[in-house]
Structure 1
Amino acid sequence: MNVRFLFCSFSLVYLTLAEGQISKDIEHSPAIWGGYISSVRVSEKVSVWNDLHYVPNSFFIYRTGLSWHFTPQVTGTAGYAFLNTSPRTNGLLARSEHRPWMQLVFNFKIGARAVFNHRIRYDYRIRQVLRGGDILNDEWTAYHRLRFMSSLRFPLLGSQLGDYNPFFSINNEILFNFGDNIIWNYFDQNRSWLNIGYQFPGLTLQLGYMLRWVQGSVPGRITYYHTAVFWVTHALDVSKKKEKNMENELLHREP
Protein backbone atom coordinates (compact mmCIF):
# COMPACT_ATOMS: atom_id res chain seq x y z
CA MET A 1 0.00 0.00 0.00
CA ASN A 2 2.87 2.41 0.76
CA VAL A 3 4.34 1.84 -2.70
CA ARG A 4 1.01 2.62 -4.36
CA PHE A 5 0.70 5.77 -2.27
CA LEU A 6 4.21 6.94 -3.21
CA PHE A 7 3.60 6.14 -6.89
CA CYS A 8 0.38 8.19 -7.01
CA SER A 9 1.98 11.02 -5.03
CA PHE A 10 4.91 11.12 -7.46
CA SER A 11 2.53 11.51 -10.41
CA LEU A 12 0.49 14.22 -8.72
CA VAL A 13 3.60 16.23 -7.83
CA TYR A 14 4.72 16.30 -11.46
CA LEU A 15 1.28 17.27 -12.69
CA THR A 16 1.09 20.06 -10.11
CA LEU A 17 4.49 21.40 -11.12
CA ALA A 18 3.49 21.28 -14.77
CA GLU A 19 0.25 23.13 -14.09
CA GLY A 20 2.22 25.86 -12.33
CA GLN A 21 4.35 26.47 -15.43
CA ILE A 22 1.53 26.88 -17.91
CA SER A 23 -1.02 29.57 -18.56
CA LYS A 24 -4.64 29.67 -19.51
CA ASP A 25 -5.08 28.23 -23.01
CA ILE A 26 -6.38 24.75 -22.18
CA GLU A 27 -8.27 22.38 -24.46
CA HIS A 28 -9.95 19.06 -23.67
CA SER A 29 -10.23 16.42 -26.38
CA PRO A 30 -11.49 12.80 -26.51
CA ALA A 31 -9.25 10.16 -28.07
CA ILE A 32 -8.95 6.41 -28.72
CA TRP A 33 -5.64 4.52 -28.57
CA GLY A 34 -5.30 1.06 -30.09
CA GLY A 35 -2.03 -0.83 -29.71
CA TYR A 36 -0.36 -4.17 -30.40
CA ILE A 37 2.90 -4.99 -28.61
CA SER A 38 4.81 -8.20 -29.30
CA SER A 39 7.94 -9.94 -28.07
CA VAL A 40 9.50 -12.91 -29.85
CA ARG A 41 12.14 -14.77 -27.82
CA VAL A 42 14.80 -16.10 -30.22
CA SER A 43 17.35 -17.25 -27.64
CA GLU A 44 17.84 -17.38 -23.90
CA LYS A 45 19.03 -13.75 -23.80
CA VAL A 46 17.61 -12.15 -26.97
CA SER A 47 14.11 -11.25 -28.08
CA VAL A 48 12.67 -9.15 -30.92
CA TRP A 49 10.41 -6.23 -30.05
CA ASN A 50 7.67 -5.00 -32.39
CA ASP A 51 4.70 -2.75 -31.70
CA LEU A 52 2.07 -0.78 -33.58
CA HIS A 53 -0.05 2.04 -32.20
CA TYR A 54 -2.71 4.23 -33.74
CA VAL A 55 -4.43 7.25 -32.23
CA PRO A 56 -6.76 8.88 -34.79
CA ASN A 57 -5.95 12.55 -35.48
CA SER A 58 -2.77 12.24 -33.43
CA PHE A 59 -0.23 9.61 -34.50
CA PHE A 60 0.58 6.22 -36.00
CA ILE A 61 3.82 4.50 -34.95
CA TYR A 62 5.62 1.31 -35.88
CA ARG A 63 8.48 0.47 -33.52
CA THR A 64 10.96 -2.39 -33.71
CA GLY A 65 14.05 -3.37 -31.75
CA LEU A 66 16.24 -6.05 -30.21
CA SER A 67 16.06 -6.78 -26.48
CA TRP A 68 18.82 -8.22 -24.32
CA HIS A 69 17.70 -9.89 -21.11
CA PHE A 70 20.51 -9.17 -18.64
CA THR A 71 18.59 -10.84 -15.81
CA PRO A 72 14.92 -11.79 -15.30
CA GLN A 73 14.53 -8.34 -13.69
CA VAL A 74 16.52 -6.15 -16.14
CA THR A 75 16.06 -5.88 -19.92
CA GLY A 76 17.60 -3.45 -22.41
CA THR A 77 16.22 -2.71 -25.88
CA ALA A 78 17.44 -0.62 -28.82
CA GLY A 79 15.77 -0.04 -32.15
CA TYR A 80 14.06 2.25 -34.65
CA ALA A 81 10.56 3.68 -34.98
CA PHE A 82 8.72 5.36 -37.84
CA LEU A 83 5.78 7.70 -37.21
CA ASN A 84 3.14 9.65 -39.05
CA THR A 85 1.68 12.43 -36.92
CA SER A 86 -0.75 15.33 -37.27
CA PRO A 87 -1.60 17.50 -39.14
CA ARG A 88 -3.61 15.59 -41.73
CA THR A 89 -3.28 16.05 -45.50
CA ASN A 90 -5.94 14.54 -47.78
CA GLY A 91 -7.34 12.72 -44.77
CA LEU A 92 -4.03 11.09 -43.77
CA LEU A 93 -1.59 11.84 -40.98
CA ALA A 94 1.10 13.66 -42.93
CA ARG A 95 4.04 14.66 -40.72
CA SER A 96 6.83 12.06 -40.85
CA GLU A 97 9.20 11.24 -38.01
CA HIS A 98 12.19 8.89 -37.70
CA ARG A 99 13.02 7.82 -34.17
CA PRO A 100 16.03 5.75 -33.08
CA TRP A 101 15.33 4.68 -29.50
CA MET A 102 16.64 2.66 -26.56
CA GLN A 103 15.44 1.73 -23.10
CA LEU A 104 16.11 -0.08 -19.85
CA VAL A 105 13.28 -1.85 -18.00
CA PHE A 106 13.50 -2.88 -14.35
CA ASN A 107 10.88 -5.04 -12.69
CA PHE A 108 10.53 -6.57 -9.25
CA LYS A 109 7.84 -7.94 -6.98
CA ILE A 110 6.17 -5.89 -4.28
CA GLY A 111 5.07 -8.29 -1.58
CA ALA A 112 3.43 -11.53 -2.63
CA ARG A 113 1.00 -10.14 -5.21
CA ALA A 114 2.11 -6.96 -6.98
CA VAL A 115 4.75 -6.31 -9.64
CA PHE A 116 6.44 -2.91 -9.99
CA ASN A 117 7.92 -1.93 -13.34
CA HIS A 118 10.15 1.08 -14.06
CA ARG A 119 11.28 2.07 -17.55
CA ILE A 120 13.76 4.67 -18.79
CA ARG A 121 13.42 5.30 -22.53
CA TYR A 122 15.43 7.57 -24.82
CA ASP A 123 14.05 8.84 -28.16
CA TYR A 124 16.03 10.70 -30.83
CA ARG A 125 13.30 12.49 -32.76
CA ILE A 126 13.95 13.52 -36.39
CA ARG A 127 10.82 15.33 -37.51
CA GLN A 128 9.51 17.32 -40.45
CA VAL A 129 9.29 21.03 -39.68
CA LEU A 130 5.91 22.75 -39.43
CA ARG A 131 5.44 26.37 -40.47
CA GLY A 132 2.56 28.38 -39.10
CA GLY A 133 1.51 25.49 -36.90
CA ASP A 134 0.17 23.16 -39.60
CA ILE A 135 2.09 23.64 -42.89
CA LEU A 136 4.68 20.98 -43.76
CA ASN A 137 7.87 21.67 -45.68
CA ASP A 138 11.00 19.73 -46.68
CA GLU A 139 13.08 20.80 -43.69
CA TRP A 140 13.79 18.55 -40.74
CA THR A 141 14.60 19.17 -37.11
CA ALA A 142 16.01 16.87 -34.45
CA TYR A 143 16.08 16.77 -30.68
CA HIS A 144 16.24 14.34 -27.77
CA ARG A 145 13.58 13.08 -25.39
CA LEU A 146 13.81 11.18 -22.11
CA ARG A 147 10.85 9.23 -20.75
CA PHE A 148 10.36 7.85 -17.25
CA MET A 149 7.54 5.37 -16.75
CA SER A 150 6.45 3.57 -13.58
CA SER A 151 3.78 0.88 -13.42
CA LEU A 152 2.22 -1.11 -10.61
CA ARG A 153 0.27 -4.25 -11.51
CA PHE A 154 -1.61 -6.60 -9.19
CA PRO A 155 -4.29 -9.32 -9.54
CA LEU A 156 -7.95 -8.53 -9.09
CA LEU A 157 -8.65 -12.14 -8.10
CA GLY A 158 -6.44 -14.72 -6.47
CA SER A 159 -3.08 -14.33 -4.80
CA GLN A 160 -0.79 -13.69 -7.78
CA LEU A 161 -0.57 -12.59 -11.38
CA GLY A 162 -0.84 -15.34 -13.95
CA ASP A 163 -2.79 -16.99 -16.74
CA TYR A 164 -6.59 -16.74 -16.69
CA ASN A 165 -6.45 -14.04 -14.03
CA PRO A 166 -7.77 -10.48 -14.35
CA PHE A 167 -5.43 -7.73 -13.17
CA PHE A 168 -5.37 -4.00 -12.53
CA SER A 169 -2.53 -1.60 -13.34
CA ILE A 170 -1.71 1.98 -12.31
CA ASN A 171 0.75 3.77 -14.58
CA ASN A 172 2.43 7.11 -15.09
CA GLU A 173 4.97 8.36 -17.63
CA ILE A 174 6.64 11.76 -17.79
CA LEU A 175 8.43 12.93 -20.95
CA PHE A 176 11.16 15.61 -21.19
CA ASN A 177 12.70 17.25 -24.27
CA PHE A 178 16.26 18.52 -24.56
CA GLY A 179 18.69 19.64 -27.27
CA ASP A 180 19.75 22.76 -29.17
CA ASN A 181 16.33 23.09 -30.84
CA ILE A 182 14.44 23.07 -27.53
CA ILE A 183 13.95 26.61 -26.31
CA TRP A 184 11.06 26.55 -23.85
CA ASN A 185 9.15 23.25 -24.08
CA TYR A 186 11.46 21.07 -21.97
CA PHE A 187 8.41 19.46 -20.37
CA ASP A 188 6.80 17.58 -23.24
CA GLN A 189 3.87 15.70 -21.72
CA ASN A 190 2.60 13.49 -18.93
CA ARG A 191 0.59 10.28 -19.32
CA SER A 192 -1.38 8.70 -16.49
CA TRP A 193 -3.52 5.63 -17.05
CA LEU A 194 -5.54 2.96 -15.31
CA ASN A 195 -6.05 -0.39 -17.01
CA ILE A 196 -7.99 -3.56 -16.35
CA GLY A 197 -6.54 -6.59 -18.11
CA TYR A 198 -6.81 -10.31 -18.55
CA GLN A 199 -3.91 -12.68 -19.10
CA PHE A 200 -3.96 -15.78 -21.31
CA PRO A 201 -0.98 -18.02 -22.05
CA GLY A 202 1.23 -15.81 -24.20
CA LEU A 203 -1.34 -13.02 -24.49
CA THR A 204 -2.78 -10.16 -22.45
CA LEU A 205 -5.68 -7.83 -23.22
CA GLN A 206 -5.89 -4.42 -21.56
CA LEU A 207 -8.69 -1.86 -21.54
CA GLY A 208 -8.52 1.42 -19.69
CA TYR A 209 -8.42 5.20 -19.49
CA MET A 210 -5.44 7.49 -20.05
CA LEU A 211 -5.15 11.20 -19.35
CA ARG A 212 -2.51 12.69 -21.65
CA TRP A 213 -1.28 16.17 -20.73
CA VAL A 214 0.40 17.47 -23.92
CA GLN A 215 2.34 20.71 -24.32
CA GLY A 216 1.21 22.81 -27.28
CA SER A 217 3.27 24.31 -30.08
CA VAL A 218 3.39 27.71 -28.36
CA PRO A 219 3.96 28.58 -24.68
CA GLY A 220 0.85 28.45 -22.55
CA ARG A 221 -1.17 26.12 -24.75
CA ILE A 222 -1.89 22.58 -23.57
CA THR A 223 -4.33 19.83 -24.43
CA TYR A 224 -5.82 17.22 -22.11
CA TYR A 225 -6.54 14.08 -24.14
CA HIS A 226 -9.12 11.89 -22.39
CA THR A 227 -8.15 8.62 -24.01
CA ALA A 228 -9.80 5.20 -24.11
CA VAL A 229 -7.08 2.57 -24.61
CA PHE A 230 -7.19 -1.01 -25.87
CA TRP A 231 -3.85 -2.82 -26.01
CA VAL A 232 -2.93 -6.37 -26.95
CA THR A 233 0.40 -7.81 -25.75
CA HIS A 234 1.68 -10.97 -27.41
CA ALA A 235 4.68 -13.10 -26.39
CA LEU A 236 6.14 -15.91 -28.53
CA ASP A 237 9.10 -18.21 -27.98
CA VAL A 238 10.83 -19.65 -31.06
CA SER A 239 14.16 -20.41 -29.39
CA LYS A 240 15.55 -23.92 -29.30
CA LYS A 241 15.55 -23.81 -25.54
CA LYS A 242 12.03 -22.78 -24.62
CA GLU A 243 11.72 -20.46 -21.65
CA LYS A 244 9.81 -22.05 -18.83
CA ASN A 245 8.09 -18.81 -17.95
CA MET A 246 7.18 -16.14 -20.50
CA GLU A 247 5.27 -14.06 -17.98
CA ASN A 248 7.90 -11.29 -17.94
CA GLU A 249 7.43 -10.84 -21.67
CA LEU A 250 3.77 -10.02 -21.02
CA LEU A 251 4.07 -8.01 -17.82
CA HIS A 252 6.73 -5.56 -18.92
CA ARG A 253 5.71 -4.54 -22.40
CA GLU A 254 4.16 -1.07 -22.44
CA PRO A 255 3.86 1.53 -25.25
Structure 2
Amino acid sequence: MSSIKLSERISIWNDLHYVPESFFIYRTGLSWHFTPQVVGTAGYAFLNTSPIVDGLLARSEHRPWGQLVFNFKIGEAAQFNHRVRYDYRIRQSVLAGEILDGEWVANHRLRFMSSLRFPLVGRSLGNYKPFFSINNEILFNFGKNIIWNYFDQNRSWINFGYQIPNATFQLGYMLRWVQGSTPGNVTYYHTALFWVTHVIDSRKHKPLKEPENELLHREP
Protein backbone atom coordinates (compact mmCIF):
# COMPACT_ATOMS: atom_id res chain seq x y z
CA MET A 1 0.00 0.00 0.00
CA SER A 2 1.25 3.49 -0.76
CA SER A 3 0.20 7.10 -0.48
CA ILE A 4 1.68 9.84 -2.67
CA LYS A 5 1.28 13.26 -1.09
CA LEU A 6 0.61 15.93 -3.73
CA SER A 7 -0.37 18.84 -1.47
CA GLU A 8 -1.65 19.54 2.01
CA ARG A 9 -5.14 18.48 0.89
CA ILE A 10 -4.57 15.94 -1.89
CA SER A 11 -2.88 12.53 -2.06
CA ILE A 12 -3.01 9.46 -4.32
CA TRP A 13 -4.07 6.14 -2.78
CA ASN A 14 -2.65 2.86 -4.13
CA ASP A 15 -2.85 -0.70 -2.85
CA LEU A 16 -2.08 -4.06 -4.40
CA HIS A 17 -2.90 -7.46 -2.88
CA TYR A 18 -2.52 -11.04 -3.97
CA VAL A 19 -4.03 -14.07 -2.25
CA PRO A 20 -3.02 -17.31 -4.03
CA GLU A 21 -6.00 -19.21 -5.51
CA SER A 22 -8.38 -16.51 -4.26
CA PHE A 23 -7.95 -13.01 -5.68
CA PHE A 24 -5.67 -10.31 -7.06
CA ILE A 25 -6.60 -6.63 -6.74
CA TYR A 26 -5.07 -3.32 -7.71
CA ARG A 27 -6.87 -0.31 -6.25
CA THR A 28 -6.14 3.36 -6.81
CA GLY A 29 -7.88 6.59 -5.89
CA LEU A 30 -7.61 10.30 -5.18
CA SER A 31 -7.87 11.40 -1.55
CA TRP A 32 -9.03 14.72 -0.16
CA HIS A 33 -7.91 15.56 3.38
CA PHE A 34 -10.80 17.49 4.92
CA THR A 35 -8.93 17.65 8.24
CA PRO A 36 -6.04 15.63 9.74
CA GLN A 37 -8.73 13.35 11.20
CA VAL A 38 -11.13 12.99 8.23
CA VAL A 39 -10.13 11.88 4.71
CA GLY A 40 -12.30 11.00 1.71
CA THR A 41 -11.15 8.92 -1.26
CA ALA A 42 -12.74 7.96 -4.60
CA GLY A 43 -11.23 5.66 -7.20
CA TYR A 44 -11.24 2.47 -9.25
CA ALA A 45 -10.08 -1.11 -8.65
CA PHE A 46 -9.46 -4.04 -10.98
CA LEU A 47 -9.62 -7.65 -9.77
CA ASN A 48 -9.09 -11.20 -10.91
CA THR A 49 -10.84 -13.82 -8.79
CA SER A 50 -11.68 -17.53 -8.87
CA PRO A 51 -12.54 -19.77 -10.65
CA ILE A 52 -9.06 -20.78 -11.77
CA VAL A 53 -8.58 -21.60 -15.48
CA ASP A 54 -5.26 -22.94 -16.74
CA GLY A 55 -3.69 -22.08 -13.40
CA LEU A 56 -4.79 -18.43 -13.48
CA LEU A 57 -7.49 -16.49 -11.66
CA ALA A 58 -9.96 -16.07 -14.51
CA ARG A 59 -12.94 -13.98 -13.36
CA SER A 60 -12.55 -10.25 -13.97
CA GLU A 61 -14.12 -7.53 -11.85
CA HIS A 62 -14.29 -3.75 -12.22
CA ARG A 63 -14.91 -1.85 -9.01
CA PRO A 64 -15.50 1.92 -8.70
CA TRP A 65 -15.23 2.73 -5.00
CA GLY A 66 -15.27 5.52 -2.42
CA GLN A 67 -14.67 5.86 1.31
CA LEU A 68 -14.45 8.10 4.36
CA VAL A 69 -11.79 7.47 7.02
CA PHE A 70 -11.99 8.89 10.55
CA ASN A 71 -8.82 8.85 12.63
CA PHE A 72 -8.39 10.08 16.20
CA LYS A 73 -6.66 9.36 19.50
CA ILE A 74 -8.12 7.63 22.53
CA GLY A 75 -6.21 8.85 25.55
CA GLU A 76 -2.46 9.35 25.28
CA ALA A 77 -1.53 6.03 23.67
CA ALA A 78 -4.27 4.43 21.57
CA GLN A 79 -5.23 5.38 18.02
CA PHE A 80 -8.71 4.61 16.66
CA ASN A 81 -9.59 4.42 12.97
CA HIS A 82 -13.04 3.93 11.48
CA ARG A 83 -13.68 3.54 7.78
CA VAL A 84 -16.88 3.45 5.71
CA ARG A 85 -16.27 2.17 2.17
CA TYR A 86 -18.62 1.73 -0.81
CA ASP A 87 -17.86 -0.71 -3.66
CA TYR A 88 -19.76 -0.98 -6.95
CA ARG A 89 -18.89 -4.48 -8.14
CA ILE A 90 -19.17 -5.31 -11.87
CA ARG A 91 -18.22 -8.97 -12.28
CA GLN A 92 -18.25 -11.60 -14.99
CA SER A 93 -21.14 -14.02 -14.53
CA VAL A 94 -20.36 -17.57 -13.38
CA LEU A 95 -22.59 -20.64 -13.69
CA ALA A 96 -21.59 -24.04 -12.24
CA GLY A 97 -17.99 -22.87 -11.94
CA GLU A 98 -17.81 -21.73 -15.58
CA ILE A 99 -17.41 -18.10 -16.69
CA LEU A 100 -20.15 -16.93 -19.06
CA ASP A 101 -18.54 -14.94 -21.88
CA GLY A 102 -20.02 -11.50 -22.39
CA GLU A 103 -22.30 -11.67 -19.36
CA TRP A 104 -21.79 -9.46 -16.31
CA VAL A 105 -23.55 -8.97 -13.00
CA ALA A 106 -23.41 -5.88 -10.76
CA ASN A 107 -24.22 -5.15 -7.13
CA HIS A 108 -23.42 -2.64 -4.40
CA ARG A 109 -21.49 -3.31 -1.20
CA LEU A 110 -20.99 -1.33 2.01
CA ARG A 111 -18.05 -2.01 4.33
CA PHE A 112 -17.57 -0.85 7.92
CA MET A 113 -14.11 -1.24 9.46
CA SER A 114 -12.78 -0.29 12.89
CA SER A 115 -9.16 -0.50 14.01
CA LEU A 116 -7.52 0.14 17.38
CA ARG A 117 -3.71 0.46 17.73
CA PHE A 118 -1.55 0.47 20.85
CA PRO A 119 2.21 1.00 21.30
CA LEU A 120 4.13 -2.03 22.57
CA VAL A 121 7.00 0.11 23.86
CA GLY A 122 6.55 3.42 25.66
CA ARG A 123 3.34 5.37 25.99
CA SER A 124 2.87 6.73 22.47
CA LEU A 125 2.97 5.65 18.83
CA GLY A 126 5.81 6.91 16.66
CA ASN A 127 8.86 6.17 14.55
CA TYR A 128 11.04 3.19 15.47
CA LYS A 129 8.36 1.81 17.79
CA PRO A 130 6.48 -1.51 17.57
CA PHE A 131 2.70 -1.53 17.91
CA PHE A 132 -0.24 -3.92 18.14
CA SER A 133 -3.61 -3.54 16.39
CA ILE A 134 -7.04 -5.15 16.68
CA ASN A 135 -9.31 -4.84 13.65
CA ASN A 136 -12.74 -5.88 12.38
CA GLU A 137 -14.64 -5.25 9.15
CA ILE A 138 -18.17 -6.29 8.23
CA LEU A 139 -19.42 -6.21 4.62
CA PHE A 140 -23.02 -6.01 3.32
CA ASN A 141 -24.43 -6.46 -0.19
CA PHE A 142 -27.41 -4.70 -1.71
CA GLY A 143 -28.95 -4.21 -5.15
CA LYS A 144 -31.53 -5.85 -7.43
CA ASN A 145 -29.39 -8.99 -7.81
CA ILE A 146 -29.18 -9.50 -4.04
CA ILE A 147 -32.14 -11.61 -2.88
CA TRP A 148 -31.14 -13.15 0.44
CA ASN A 149 -27.36 -12.79 0.84
CA TYR A 150 -27.26 -9.25 2.19
CA PHE A 151 -24.49 -10.28 4.57
CA ASP A 152 -21.33 -10.78 2.52
CA GLN A 153 -18.55 -11.52 5.00
CA ASN A 154 -16.79 -10.56 8.22
CA ARG A 155 -13.05 -10.06 8.63
CA SER A 156 -11.27 -9.99 11.99
CA TRP A 157 -7.52 -9.65 12.32
CA ILE A 158 -4.68 -8.81 14.68
CA ASN A 159 -1.37 -7.27 13.61
CA PHE A 160 2.03 -6.64 15.07
CA GLY A 161 3.65 -3.67 13.36
CA TYR A 162 6.75 -1.53 13.26
CA GLN A 163 7.01 2.03 12.01
CA ILE A 164 10.01 3.78 10.49
CA PRO A 165 9.96 7.23 8.88
CA ASN A 166 7.60 7.10 5.90
CA ALA A 167 6.77 3.37 6.18
CA THR A 168 5.17 0.72 8.37
CA PHE A 169 5.41 -3.07 8.30
CA GLN A 170 2.64 -5.28 9.69
CA LEU A 171 2.52 -9.03 10.27
CA GLY A 172 -0.65 -10.69 11.50
CA TYR A 173 -3.49 -13.19 11.31
CA MET A 174 -6.95 -12.77 9.74
CA LEU A 175 -10.10 -14.85 10.17
CA ARG A 176 -12.65 -14.38 7.38
CA TRP A 177 -16.09 -15.97 7.34
CA VAL A 178 -17.74 -15.63 3.96
CA GLN A 179 -21.35 -16.25 2.95
CA GLY A 180 -21.64 -19.02 0.36
CA SER A 181 -23.96 -19.39 -2.62
CA THR A 182 -26.76 -20.96 -0.54
CA PRO A 183 -28.25 -19.90 2.83
CA GLY A 184 -26.34 -21.25 5.80
CA ASN A 185 -23.29 -22.15 3.71
CA VAL A 186 -20.44 -20.23 5.36
CA THR A 187 -16.74 -20.76 4.59
CA TYR A 188 -13.99 -19.89 7.09
CA TYR A 189 -10.57 -18.72 5.94
CA HIS A 190 -7.49 -18.59 8.20
CA THR A 191 -4.90 -16.25 6.69
CA ALA A 192 -1.41 -15.12 7.60
CA LEU A 193 -0.82 -11.60 6.31
CA PHE A 194 2.05 -9.23 5.67
CA TRP A 195 1.38 -5.61 4.74
CA VAL A 196 3.74 -2.79 3.83
CA THR A 197 2.55 0.83 3.76
CA HIS A 198 4.75 3.52 2.24
CA VAL A 199 4.36 7.30 2.05
CA ILE A 200 5.92 9.32 -0.78
CA ASP A 201 5.94 13.12 -0.62
CA SER A 202 6.16 14.71 -4.07
CA ARG A 203 6.20 18.26 -2.70
CA LYS A 204 9.76 19.50 -3.22
CA HIS A 205 9.27 22.58 -1.07
CA LYS A 206 7.69 20.74 1.89
CA PRO A 207 9.35 17.41 2.75
CA LEU A 208 7.20 15.05 4.79
CA LYS A 209 9.04 14.89 8.11
CA GLU A 210 6.20 13.54 10.23
CA PRO A 211 3.75 11.55 8.08
CA GLU A 212 0.12 11.68 9.13
CA ASN A 213 -1.13 8.58 10.93
CA GLU A 214 -3.90 7.99 8.40
CA LEU A 215 -1.30 7.72 5.62
CA LEU A 216 0.93 5.22 7.39
CA HIS A 217 -1.60 3.12 9.28
CA ARG A 218 -4.16 2.10 6.72
CA GLU A 219 -5.92 -1.17 6.02
CA PRO A 220 -6.92 -2.56 2.60
Match of 1:119 among 83, 97, 110: 83
- Measured after TM superposition, the shift of residue 238 of structure 1 is 0.9
Q: Which residue number in structure 2 is paired with residue 213 of structure 1?
A: 177
Q: Which residue number in structure 2 is paired with residue 241 of structure 1?
A: 206
Alpha carbons 2:36, 2:212 under 8 Å: kept? no
Amino acid at match of 1:250: L
Alpha carbons 1:44, 1:243 under 8 Å: kept? no
Higher RCO by CA contacts (8 Å cutoff, separation 6 or greater): 1
Q: Which residue number in structure 2 is paired with residue 181 of structure 1?
A: 145
Q: Which residue number in structure 2 is paired with residue 89 of structure 1?
A: 53
Q: Which residue number in structure 2 is paired with residue 80 of structure 1?
A: 44
Match of 1:110 among 74, 96, 101: 74
Alpha carbons 2:165, 2:210 under 8 Å: kept? no
Q: Give CA-to-partner distance per residue, 1:160-191, whole Å, 9 cap, x none.
A: 11110000000000000000000111000000
Match of 1:100 among 64, 67, 81: 64
Alpha carbons 1:147, 1:176 under 8 Å: kept? yes
1:250 matched to 2:213? The reply is no
Q: Which runs of 5+ in 1 are unaligned?
A: 1-36
1:64 matched to 2:47? The reply is no
What does 1:23-172 correspond to in 2, within 5 Å?
A: 37-132=1-96, 134-138=97-101, 139-172=103-136
For residues 57 and 122 of structure 2, what CA distance do their matches in structure 1 show?
Answer: 44
SS at match of 1:180: coil
For residues 212 and 167 of structure 2, what CA distance do their matches in structure 1 show?
Answer: 9
Q: What TM-score comes out, normalization by structure 2 length?
A: 0.97
Alpha carbons 1:84, 1:95 under 8 Å: kept? yes
- Measured after TM superposition, the shift of residue 242 of structure 1 is 3.2
Larger fraction in helix: 1
- Measured after TM superposition, the shift of residue 245 of structure 1 is 2.3
Amino acid at match of 1:224: Y
Q: What TM-score comes out, normalization by structure 1 length?
A: 0.84
Q: Give CA-to-partner distance per residue, 1:204-244, whole Å, 9 cap, x none.
A: 11000000011112222111000101000001111233344
Alpha carbons 1:44, 1:241 under 8 Å: kept? no
Amino acid at match of 2:94: L
For residues 242 and 176 of structure 1, what CA distance do their matches in structure 2 show?
Answer: 40
Alpha carbons 1:79, 1:102 under 8 Å: kept? yes
Cα RMSD (Å): 0.8
For residues 169 and 57 of structure 2, what CA distance do their matches in structure 1 show?
Answer: 27
For residues 220 and 118 of structure 1, what CA distance do their matches in structure 2 show?
Answer: 29
Q: Give CA-to-partner distance per residue, 1:134-184, whole Å, 9 cap, x none.
A: 110120000000000000001000111111000000000000000000011
Q: Which runs of 5+ in 2 are unaligned?
A: none
For residues 87 and 96 of structure 1, what CA distance do their matches in structure 2 show?
Answer: 10
For residues 171 and 121 of structure 1, what CA distance do their matches in structure 2 show?
Answer: 15
For residues 131 and 34 of structure 2, what CA distance do their matches in structure 1 show?
Answer: 27
For residues 59 and 44 of structure 2, what CA distance do their matches in structure 1 show?
Answer: 17
